[in-house]
Amino acid sequence: MAQTKTIQSFAFSLSLAMLFLSGCAYLTHPKETLFLKGLEDNQKQMQAQLAREEKRFNRLKTDLDTGRLRKLAKKTRIISLYGQPVLCRPVEGQTGIQETCIYRKPGGLSTSIILLNLDTQDRLFSWNIQNPDK
């Protein structure tokens, strides 16, 4: 019984010391502590944004594969459903295609890319899904 009381007392003292020492770090280095907290918050926001972008990319790929996103869909509708493309660039020399919009799966340089080709009326004309060699 006395041994249990001693262990509980030691655990309480240790917890109190940890709480006190962590408070001391904030009191002696408030700018640095707030800076690190800001970095942590920023990292969480970046991870959440990447997760949203990956979810939209996967939905675009699925909708193209299943035929849910069809030809003649307007560019404004595509952007409202799947977000802004990484890049849209004009195309010359291809009949019927005015612009190509690029969607890229987040996660590095060798990721899947979806090229959406738009006609002169900003409607989906064709697409190409490029998967990197694995």
Does the pLDDT value for residue 62 go beyond 60? yes
2-130 folds as Beta-lactamase Inhibitory Protein; Chain:B, domain 1 (3.30.1450)
* 71-111 confidence digits (pLDDT tens): 889 999 999 999 999 999 999 988 889 999 999 998 777 88
Does the pLDDT value for residue 1 go beyond 80? no
More confident residue, 9 or 124: 124
Of the pLDDT bands very low, low, confident and very high (cuts 50, 70, 90), residue 131 is confident
CA 51/CA 49 separation, integer angstroms:
5
User: SS3 for the chain, per residue?
Assistant: CHHHHHHHHHHHHHHHHHHHHHHHHHHHCHHHHHHHHHHHHHHHHHHHHHHHHHHHHHHHHHHHHHCCCCCCCEHHHHHHHHCCCCEEEECCCCCCCCEEEEEECCCCCCCCEEEEEECCCCEEEEEEEECCCC
Does the pLDDT value for residue 63 go beyond 80? yes
* Token digits of residue 32: 């640095």
The number of beta carbons lying within 10 Å of the beta carbon of residue 42 is 10
* 22-41 confidence digits (pLDDT tens): 655 556 667 877 777 777 88
Question: Residue 22: what pLDDT?
Answer: 60
Task: Write down the residue that tokens 């944004």 correspond to.
Answer: 49
Does the pLDDT value for residue 55 go beyond 80? yes
Question: Residue 109: what pLDDT?
Answer: 74
